[in-house]
């Protein structure tokens, strides 16, 4: 199977498995999505979805958020990890949204990435899921699977994003990045991985990955 055929196999398989694609992080608008994505750094989406209702009950917009102290925010979000950095980021970006953007989340990568604690991946998720702008945020699942599927060299997430954008049609980016995340969680996890269950890797995967999986099974 050549690379073009392998890419199409991925697209078709994911579409069959996930015709309706749930968004992993609970939110109601661009601001609450931005905060949820920021909290998800080195934290599971399940944990974030447990914590955000507590935070948003007190402040679900930048105007209410800046009324809270950084310490108050930190105490609420502590279970998500990295709470000192994240609490400063949440308070700081809320101030900037009020001062520079009339309290609204800006709809550009440049403006989003200029906010405290907001990197390229967070900006990409917001642009994609909140505003429908084609983006391909690469998390650990996508990085792992693009390597397993021999569609990227696994060197770093920057390269993986470039490869994903080059290989997949732009109009599918927003669906695919979510579909790959769900597939990674359900069929191709980092641990307790079964090649038999993982139809995509089993069919088009990198030879060395398949051989390594076979050795472990033996």
Structure tokens at 170: 């732009």
Respond yes or no: is residue 29 known to be catalytic.
Answer: no
Q: Which residues contact 143 (CB under 8 A, 6 or more apart)?
A: 152, 154, 157, 160
Check 60, 86, 121, 163 and give the catalytic one: 121
Check 139, 163, 175, 216 and give the catalytic one: 139
Closest by alpha carbon to 27, among 45, 4, 8?
45
Respond yes or no: is residue 121 known to be catalytic.
Answer: yes
Q: Which residues of 140-177 are buried (b: 16+ CB within 10 A; e: fewer)?
A: ebbbbbbbbbbbbebeebeebbebbeebbeeeebbbbb
Q: Tell me how far apart the alpha carbons of residues 176 and 98 are, in angstroms, rounded to a whole number.
A: 33
Question: Residues with catalytic annotation?
Answer: 121, 139
């Amino acid at each position: 199977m050549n690379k073009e055929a392998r890419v199409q196999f991925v697209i078709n398989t994911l579409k069959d498995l996930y015709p309706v694609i749930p968004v992993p992080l609970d939110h109601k608008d661009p601001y609450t999505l931005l905060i949820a994505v920021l909290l998800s750094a080195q934290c599971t989406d399940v944990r974030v979805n447990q914590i955000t209702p507590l935070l948003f009950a007190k402040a679900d917009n930048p105007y209410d958020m800046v009324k809270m102290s950084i310490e108050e925010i930190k105490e609420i979000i502590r279970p998500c990890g990295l709470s000192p950095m994240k609490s400063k980021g949440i308070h700081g970006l809320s101030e900037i949204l009020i001062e520079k953007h009339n309290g609204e989340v800006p709809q550009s990568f440049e403006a989003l990435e200029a906010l405290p604690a907001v990197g390229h991946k967070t900006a990409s998720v917001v642009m994609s899921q909140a505003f429908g702008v084609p983006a391909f945020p690469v998390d650990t699942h996508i990085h792992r699977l693009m390597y397993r599927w021999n569609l990227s060299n696994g060197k770093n997430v920057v390269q993986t994003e470039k490869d994903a954008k080059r290989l997949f049609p732009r109009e599918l980016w927003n669906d695919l990045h979510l579909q790959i995340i769900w597939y990674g969680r359900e069929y191709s996890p980092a641990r307790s991985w079964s090649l038999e269950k993982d139809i995509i890797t089993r069919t088009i995967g990198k030879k060395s990955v398949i051989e390594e999986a076979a050795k472990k099974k033996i």
